[in-house]
Structure 1
Amino acid sequence: MPKHRKRKIKEFQSTIRRKIRKLELMLDKLSSSESDSSESTQDTSDSQESVLSAQSQSVQQVCQSSDLPNQQEHPEFSIEALLGSRPQNETEEGAEIAPELAVRWESFLLCGLDKEVRKKLLEQWIVPRNCKSLRAPSLNPEVQALLSPIDLKKDKFIENLQEIIGKGITAEGTALTKILEHSNTDPSITQALVDSGKLLTDMFHNISLHRKYQLYKYFNDAVKKIASQQKIDTYLLGSDFTEKCKLAKTVENTAQELIKNREQQPSTSRHLNSQRPNYKKRMKTEERRGGERYVTYNKQTKKPARDRRMKKDPQYYTRNRIQRN
């Protein structure tokens, strides 16, 4: 430990000792004067109690006369206005249906239908002649070749679900048709069936859109754009999907050929501010080889010069070297 810190600790200890001594002396004086001033202490205690009671009364008056907001005088400071309305976590419940119907539907929702019952119902209800869109759209044959076996199974499972929903809408439509034929039925019954049909048909359409979206990962950007614009009919991507893809490919190839021809075609126009082409100069060199004179032309490039004679007869230099030897 450094010396200056030790010095500070010693000084601190000495000051504490001095204060302790002073306190001991004061306690001795108080103890000696207690017997003489017992009566005076009683008077002082009474005076202190009166002071405390006066202070408590003044505090109560201040609290009563304070400007704290009162709910009756200031309704805008109510708890609901400050904190908002109480949250409603409970879901709203509608009117009860028939008990016998509720029991059966609860069983169907939790456990499902028996296979034989489901098969019988699907065979019983046939899609009407004037509403063939209730049949689930099939996958285009040219797209089936792109999908993996797992994705094909997934799409087929969703297609079967659409078939079941379509048969359910068919059954509901049949009942609604019979109700509309009799004008004396309750309008609320008709409205309930119409609303149910709207929800079911919208769900049918959303399932078709989901099936289309799952195919986009197999397409490039051009085909994806065409598929997103196709309308659903008996096929998921439309019956004319293949023709439109071929037409788009033909247009793309034609556009590329036009661009190539335009690049290859030389420009005949010459602008005054255009830079002249940089023609490389050719340098003429003469040399003698084997007593004969040869002339070579070389462009100003990094490649070495080539003799014209070498182009015509590549074995010239080797033959001449053999003759000299």
Structure 2
Amino acid sequence: MTNKAAIVGAGLAGLSCARTLRRAGFFVEVFEQDSIIGGRLATTRIGGDTFDHGAQYLTTHSREFGDYLTEISELGYAGRWSPRATLNGAAGTWIVGTPGMSSIVRPLTENVRISTGKRVHTLERRDKGWHVRFEDETSVGPFQVVAVATPATDARLLLGRIDELAAPLSRVRMVPCWALMVRIEEKTLPDQDVYSDVSEAIRWIARNNTKPGRNPAGENIVIHASPAWSREAENADPEAVAEELWSEVSHVLGLPPVRPSRMTAHLWRHGLVDQTVGETHLYSVEHKAGIAGDWCHGRLAEHAFESGDKLGRAIIDSFN
């Protein structure tokens, strides 16, 4: 009999876990609350423009993630970005998804059933396995195993009643990050493509459209606020956030008076990892339930990929 696995969350950790399980012969179904997949490896379209408003680029230190990035680069899903980080040179070479950061996860979805716009309300284990109940009061199941690859607060709500998972989850701390997407029709920024930690409020500024595969015309700018500023403004109106952040950027970069053709602010409520679990993943062999995410043992996309893969391997081992 084919083992069936349910995965909550279609970010990099969840889809990495899905690929590992699928290659081992599991039937895998992924449920994602948003309308798009990728989690913080996100690309959004506003009008005719695209913005990578989550993770800005990728680096790798592990062989497994490095091999994956090499593989998808050869398939055209990723490319190298060498932005000008100072007026005199580049920041180095980073990997980005093409034509958007969300392309990074596309190869992980092969032979995996993914349902978007499905917010999971509860996970319930009965005699024959796990059942997934959604906020629209529909449900599916049974599944022999369940994996949750969401922010830690959501994972705690879904699986926190399992004692061996609850204690590690309680250690995790995540902080918000406001992201601002700005479109200007003419070149406006100084001759530099990325800026970091330019003020107490601004952590990151990037010319998004200098990445490979993007439209180079005009300026598509992504701005990330600092964790402290984002925390203070967590409940603020997005339009007010947009105006304040753009005013700050204009001031610190000494920009000429210019009104963007569009500005959109997005809050990543669990955008940054402040304190991790300290393990690559969490898994209860007894309950056949596990948890993965970058926040398990790091802060990078590489950690999410590793966490999902390691959870997948733990699940496979528990069925052997």
Query: Which is richer in strand?
Result: 2
Structure 2 length normalisation: TM-score?
A: 0.21
Higher relative contact order (CA 8 A, sep 6+): 2
Q: TM-score, normalised by structure 1?
A: 0.21
**Max Rg structure:** 1
Looking at secondary structure, tell me which structure has more helix per residue: 1
